[in-house]
Amino acid sequence: MTKPDEYVSDIQLAARYGLKARESIWKWVKTQNFPKPINLSPGCTRWRMSEVETWEKSREIAA
C-alpha cells in the first residue's frame, strides 16, 4: 500500500495497468469513473495514489 499523499503521473498509471498509451488513462477519467487528476502546477498533472487504490477496490467489489 502506498502513502496517502503520493502522486503519480499518467505514464506511471499506464505502466501500472499494462497500457501502451497514457491516453487510455484520460479516457478512463471520462468513461469509467476513474479519479480525476490534480493540477499541481502548470504542465504538472498527477493523481493521488490513495484515490486510485480506492477506485481499484471499488472495481474488485463490483466484479
Query: H-type helices in 1-63, by residue range?
Result: 10-16, 23-31, 49-62
pLDDT of 13 > 90? The answer is yes
pLDDT-derived band at 5, boundaries 50, 70, 90: confident
Give the CA dihedral 57, 3, 12, 32, nearest 10 degrees.
30
d(CA 1, CA 19): 21
In this structure, what C-alpha cell is assigned to residue 40?
499541481
Band of the pLDDT at 45, cuts 50, 70, 90? very high
